[in-house]
Chains A and B, each alone.
Chain A
């Protein structure tokens, strides 16, 4: 009994703020607080008319999509290469690859600016944001894909080759379908990391906004419930994507 109560309180503590955000995004009161007034979609309409939000939304969308795609490709290649490497090399490579996960995002952001912008002379902007996000997301992809490959039966690839498949055919027809759900998972995690990031984006975007820099800007000027609306949209997006991914990967790899 007491444990149920503890769990209930814990859930409330965890999910309460999120529920409040969703709730307030539908409240007509301009002040965030109770009573919240009647139900309304005003904040969503307001967002829909906000050109600043439009561009931030599309920027985030493009960055997340590009990060998810590119980080999944590069991370998968790295994971495939690592499974063929000597165990000792794998350990040190994994340690090196995990560094960006452990480093403070601020340091990563500064490093990216120093390398890509100062060093290589790339202008600030979305491409640099994407590069930064790939840097952060890729280790997760590698770890997820390597975990899948660890219980992958290499004999299936050998069998495909034996039956006449080229390297590429064996990869496409045998390896890929088996690890597809891990790749989708990795892509989703990458997209989430990208959508989630504020620090790297704010350092490297130059002009314009992603959703997170847009929210930050808004928080400093007006604290109105349209922020809750944005949060709710993000929530629906990520949860929806995950649900979709689970459905798509009908073979549980």
Chain B
């Protein structure tokens, strides 16, 4: 293996007129990575992905694949293929013709096209549907056709724009499994866009969190989850509670009461508290249960602190439902929090 990364974005940005959709960013993706671009709606995820695919010309910066600059190439000349959010399947062609479209364009022999089409359809488990028209397929099946149509090209990088967003929850989980299986089976490099953090964590080994056109953090799911670089990441990723406080001479005092040692600059801070770390503590902070929602394996409890802030607690104990009744007054505490400097206010 060489040291040149598979994909290298350098200073890549895009403005639409005066509006910055993507701020200059750097991103490096290695061969075999499953990379998630995670962020809320409108943060520029699609714009970034479409720049990599070649549909949007960047305002600045460059895109290199295996060290070769492809910034100026059109989408048809790039070794990338894309699964579109709305699939973009050809309604006038059958499933097999859709999947074979790219190879037919390359003037491959009929035999090869049909052999590889079968292969691709088998990979997404749609062998039985090859002669169907697109409008006779369910949403999940259409999704697989779009996937097969891109995979058959053996792209160096497969780009997926919210590929599962249109599917219902059950199908989404099923397709996540499929995507993971396919990624392992073909050993490819996937970059996918999502606004669903659980999906990003379920699939990716590399997560880039975006907010308002900026990449706020790039790292493994564990890094992003356990040590968020910014308040936004902390807030967006997972169900953390953010508690306001103040640091003075190496000691943080939270508005809600607790204080603890924490090295750093004096000034306002936020403490990040993970819901699974919160529990009952006899000498803890007084809290009132304001909401309790049962999620199969665990109970998610919202607590109101004296500072009027909300603290989320997650408990999978058997008697949780009996213990955390709405309106109940308790004393709670938590083990280790992470502290992030916050701007004034």
Contacts and interface: CB of A to CB of B under 8 A. Distances in A.
A107 interface: no
A161 B86 CA distance: 15
Given A153-B88, A158-B88, A165 B105 contact: yes
A159 B105 contact: no
Contacts of A162: 53-55, 75-76, 80-82, 150
Interface in A161-178: 161-166, 169, 173-174, 177-178
B170 interface: no
A159 B85 CA distance: 11
A26 to B, nearest CB: 43
Interface string B225-240: 0000000000000000
B327 interface: no
B84 A177 contact: no
Contacts of B153: 163-164
B157 to A, nearest CB: 12
Q: Give the interface size class of chain B.
A: 20 to 34
A184 to B, nearest CB: 14
B91 interface: yes
A161 B90 CA distance: 12
B105 A164 contact: yes
Given A164-B76, A164-B106, A251 B101 contact: no
A24 B329 CA distance: 96
Nearest to A170: B76
A155 interface: yes
Contacts of A45: none
Contacts, number: 67
Contact of B86 (A153, A157, A169): A153
Interface string B140-181: 000000100110010000000000000000000000000000
Contacts of A193: none
Interface string B34-65: 00000000000000000001110000000000
B16 to A, nearest CB: 13
A161 B74 contact: yes
B334 interface: no
A161 B76 contact: yes
B88 A159 contact: yes
A40 interface: no
A contact patch SS: helix
B87 interface: yes
Contacts of A160: 90, 101
B275 to A, nearest CB: 39
B102 A163 contact: yes
A83 interface: no
Contacts of A159: 82, 84, 87-90, 146, 149
Given A163-B81, A164-B106, A158 B75 contact: yes
A156 B81 CA distance: 13
B76 A165 contact: yes
Contacts of B86: 153, 155
A158 B76 contact: no
A165 B76 CA distance: 6
Interface string B101-128: 1100110000000000000000000000
A158 B105 contact: no
Given A161-B74, A161-B76, A162-B81, A155 B88 contact: yes
Contacts of A153: 86, 88, 91
A156 B89 CA distance: 6
Nearest to A157: B88
B92 A164 contact: no
A155 B102 contact: no
Given A158-B55, A158-B75, A163 B105 contact: yes
Contacts of B74: 161
Contacts of B89: 156, 159
Given A155-B84, A155-B86, A161 B75 contact: yes
Interface in B248-263: none
Given A162-B81, A163-B105, A156 B76 contact: no
- Leading 7 A-B pairs by shortest Cβ distance: A155-B88, A163-B102, A159-B88, A177-B92, A155-B84, A161-B75, A164-B105
24 contacts: A153-B88, A153-B91, A156-B89, A156-B91, A158-B55, A159-B82, A159-B89, A160-B101, A161-B76, A162-B53, A162-B76, A163-B76, A163-B102, A163-B105, A163-B149, A164-B76, A164-B102, A164-B105, A166-B76, A173-B101, A174-B90, A177-B92, A178-B90, A178-B92
Given A163-B150, A251-B92, 4 more contacts: A153-B86, A153-B91, A158-B88, A163-B81
